[in-house]
Structure 1
Amino acid sequence: MNFIFEFFVGVSNGLGEIWSHKIRSMLSMVGIILGCAALVAMMSVVDNLMKDSRQAFEESGGVELIEVVRQDVPDEQADIASLSKGLTIDDAYAIRYAVPLIEYISPQIWVSHERVRGKRGRTWMPVFAIFGDNVDIGQLEIERGRNLCELDMRSYASVAVVGSEYARVVFAPGEDPIGKFVRVKGSLYQIVGVMKHYERIVGGRNVLARKNRLIYIPITTAAMRYRGDRGVNTIYMKVRDARNLSDVVSQVENTMNQMHNGIQDFSITTREAELEKYKAREMKWKMGLGGVALISLFVGGIGIMNVMLAVINERIREIGVRKALGARSSDIFMQFLAESVVISFLGGLFGMILSVALVFALKQILGAEEMAVPFDSMMYAMLFSISIGIVSGVYPSLRAARLDPITALRYE
């Protein structure tokens, strides 16, 4: 209890000392204020820079995405490679029924780049052949009409789902694309669905434009018309829970081995390494920019130490009187340490206020509407400032605690 009492007495004395020497106290806080503000502002900038990467990663499937792609047969299996039919639509059906932990699955064939002409201009758009699940894997939404369904696959239907950019270029404003036709490699496909328009402006550019420039047709129809077999380029799948990723990969590999008679002409890739790469890059940015801001905090700590040494020199007689009246060295130590912490705490508090203003200014300058003040960075900056106040106050407090009371009383 005595420890707590002495600490609060020190806090009270510290506030009184700051009020009595406002200019000196404010100058001692400048390093802490700037350091805290810079740390929070830099963390906000890093969060904003990495947010686009994180969103792009999630919008492209996230860590739950698994890809099965073709690969060259190993040399030791070259003589029996013909036992496998390669990557096919049938593999996707087999995985769908054998691995219940998979939420969505879609094989994919790149068909062509079609030149699209319409009432509002012309452009080029990629055409992919897919299962309907591909829309969910790519985190797309159907705004009008319907998605491709299993009946379209089994009936080899000539239907298509198009992106919003196709609808904008080809049709007049207000015209309904549903029921109209799109031409792919000379064949007509009836439009049954139009996807939602996606837009996120970064640096004056819509980074989601690729989601608007798509044409999807049933994969069975494309395989029959343009390939003559059931081969595919890639099989995409998405697990229900990323925690089951390793189990799913093992089950998919077993299924593929059975379908391919043990021929290793495929590879299974996940995005865990890519996610770790994003996290490592973000940590490097934060460590680099945060380190620069921490230098300001350390400089601020030196300023606090200088001020505390000056305060002790001014109050030597006071220390002598207190010791003569029975104050212990620990009481003197705690008093001056508390005063140092008060200065650093107030510096951190003013730094938080300044950081909010800095982030607001950066938001206007960079045009980053989603930039926000990271609360966790504010807490870390405050903890750093208090820690530096403690470290900076230890030496001056020890010096004050070790003063000889007789010498202190004689001090002029």
Structure 2
Amino acid sequence: MMMVLANVRSALEQLWANKMRSVLTVLGIIIAVTSTITVVSVVQGFTGYVSEFLQGLGTNAMWIWPERPGGEAGKRLGRVTLDLRDVEALRAECSTLESISPLIPQPTATVAIGRTEVTTQLEGVSAEYHAIRNMPVEVGRAFTFLDIERRHPVCVLGREVLRKLEQGDDLVGRTLLVDGRRFRVVGILAEKGSVLGNSQDDLVLIPYTMALTMYPASRTNIALAARALDETQVPEAKAQVVSILRRRHRLDAYQPNDFQIRTQDEILTAFNSISIVATAVLAGIVGISLLVGGIGIMNVMLVSVTERTREIGLRKAVGARRRDIMLQFLTEAVVLSLLGGGLGVGLGYGLTAIVSLHPQMVDVAVPLWAVIIGFGISAGTGVVFGILPALKAALLNPIDALRHE
């Protein structure tokens, strides 16, 4: 233990004696560790935020939409549709579904009141949609089954639409124009925030029956939002939906589905997989800096061995063993790398804190395992790239070393 401490002290003295060279040597390590911690923290922050958002929708939610499959089998299918008769069949026959809502999305719709006109997203949905998507109404009410049945021109607004229209909660009960049609505002949604820069509050909800009247081309291209009775019945619910829709669409056993169905868990799993791959790819790119930093450490340590050849010869002459010399230079390489790693961790924390200050950024925190990895990588780099110089120093002949000029 005393030998190790003595080697660490000696290493620090050598680094202090060559301060500028030491800083330039560990620059690659500093950049690599800083980048690793920042990248990991940001990716983890986004992953946690999106995962929390998806889980907030409920693990028993699922989404269904018509889609022609790829390949020759898809081309041979007839017309790909999903209509209200399919919705009614699922309601009547799918015992594991608690609720189901048609979904008629319009990416852009014009909302106007007075002389103010804004563009937002419109969704035609049923009264059950609020529970499926966990979108409660904060002011006023949601539209009812009577509104759906009688195609009442009523709407519920998101908070962002209110801000864009420069209106307050007193808009409830008043009328406005949605794509040129007059609607009465009956409710305002509770604020949901943004996901990856996309506002969940910038939308207008109207009864799906009214949406089909306004956009008749959507009658055979309806999407569905559904919720199983509970999380354990999601696989059974999915199987029932597939069976019912395949039967209704008269698909043979060898034909692929002419629709897509995704459960909330599947979406979450897919996102987490993408996140893992993205982290690995970014870490691999950052690893190039480690390689450059490691080569720099090895180069400087080889120069140091050459500069201190007489010192090595003198130590061997007074009894130092090969392993003592090797441990000394290996310790210097590791200390050099750890100092770079420490500076990298500090800069990583600072850069992460700066990134977190952006108003559109999710909460970003540096995970402890990223710090441990940062120090581990820097120490490992010192060991790997310090072995060759340490071995070279250990194998020097003491007589030749003492004669070295």
- What TM-score, normalized by structure 2, do the two folds share? 0.72
Q: Which residue of the partner structure matches residue 318 of structure 1?
A: 315
Q: How does 1:72-87 map to 2 (within 5 A)?
A: 78=78, 86-87=82-83
Deviations 1:264-322 (A, max 9, x none): 77311545667655654454344224424542343234323433453454232112212
Q: Which residue of the partner structure matches residue 223 of structure 2?
A: 234
Q: Which amino acid aligns with 2:156?
A: V
Q: 2:180, 2:404 → 1: CA distance? A: 102
Q: Which residue of the partner structure matches residue 14 of structure 1?
A: 8
Deviations 1:17-60 (A, max 9, x none): 42366132662353325522444236525754896698579758
Q: 2:23, 2:232 → 1: CA distance? A: 47
Q: 2:257, 2:14 → 1: CA distance? A: 80
Q: Which residue of the partner structure matches residue 108 of structure 1?
A: 103
Contact residue 112 and residue 176 of structure 2 kept, 8 A: no
| Structure 2 residue 180 is matched with structure 1 residue 191 | no
SS in 2 for 1:129: strand
Q: How does 1:266-285 map to 2 (within 5 A)?
A: 266-270=258-262, 271=267, 276=273, 279-285=276-282
Deviations 1:322-344 (A, max 9, x none): 24xxxx54444334433432332
Residue 398 of structure 1: how far off its partner (Å):
2.5
Q: Which residue of the partner structure matches residue 128 of structure 1?
A: 123
Contact residue 156 and residue 218 of structure 1 kept, 8 A: yes
SS in 1 for 2:38: helix
Contact residue 88 and residue 230 of structure 1 kept, 8 A: yes
Q: Which amino acid aligns with 1:349?
A: G
SS in 1 for 2:139: strand
Q: 1:21, 1:226 → 2: CA distance? A: 73
Q: Which residue of the partner structure matches residue 338 of structure 2?
A: 345
Q: Which residue of the partner structure matches residue 284 of structure 2?
A: 287
Residue 374 of structure 1: how far off its partner (Å):
5.6
Contact residue 154 and residue 206 of structure 2 kept, 8 A: yes
Q: Which residue of the partner structure matches residue 296 of structure 1?
A: 293
Q: Which amino acid aligns with 1:143?
A: E
Q: Which residue of the partner structure matches residue 140 of structure 2?
A: 145
| Structure 2 residue 18 is matched with structure 1 residue 41 | no
Q: Which residue of the partner structure matches residue 69 of structure 1?
A: 66
Q: 1:196, 1:9 → 2: CA distance? A: 66
Deviations 1:61-114 (A, max 9, x none): 799753321549967665xx7xx98432643661696263x6764321247965
Distance 1:74 1:361, change over 3 A: closer
Q: Which residue of the partner structure matches residue 159 of structure 2?
A: 164
Q: Which residue of the partner structure matches residue 257 of structure 1?
A: 246
Distance 1:75 1:242, change over 3 A: same
Q: 1:9, 1:357 → 2: CA distance? A: 36
Deviations 1:114-139 (A, max 9, x none): 54332572224443211245446656
Q: Which of 394, 400, 412 in structure 1 is aligned with 2:387?
A: 394
Contact residue 294 and residue 385 of structure 2 kept, 8 A: no
Q: 1:362, 1:110 → 2: CA distance? A: 34
117-126 vs 64-73, which moves further: 64-73
Structure 1 vs Structure 2 CA RMSD: 4.8
Distance 1:386 1:108, change over 3 A: same
Q: 1:320, 1:243 → 2: CA distance? A: 75
SS in 2 for 1:212: coil
Q: Which amino acid aligns with 2:330?
A: L
Residue 366 of structure 1: how far off its partner (Å):
11
Q: Which residue of the partner structure matches residue 98 of structure 1?
A: 94
Residue 159 of structure 1: how far off its partner (Å):
3.5
Distance 1:269 1:172, change over 3 A: closer
Distance 1:353 1:141, change over 3 A: same
Distance 1:255 1:162, change over 3 A: same
How many equivalent pairs are there?
391
Unmatched 5+ stretches in structure 1: none
Distance 1:71 1:365, change over 3 A: closer
Q: 1:195, 1:118 → 2: CA distance? A: 18
Q: 1:321, 1:306 → 2: CA distance? A: 24
Residue 199 of structure 1: how far off its partner (Å):
5.5
Contact residue 298 and residue 389 of structure 2 kept, 8 A: no
Q: Which of 375, 378, 393 in structure 2 is aligned with 1:385?
A: 378
Distance 1:193 1:47, change over 3 A: same
Q: Which amino acid aligns with 2:244?
A: T
Q: Which amino acid aligns with 1:266?
A: D
Contact residue 32 and residue 344 of structure 1 kept, 8 A: yes
Q: 2:293, 2:299 → 1: CA distance? A: 10
Contact residue 39 and residue 279 of structure 2 kept, 8 A: no
Q: Which amino acid aligns with 2:203?
A: L
Q: 2:281, 2:376 → 1: CA distance? A: 21
Q: 2:234, 2:43 → 1: CA distance? A: 28
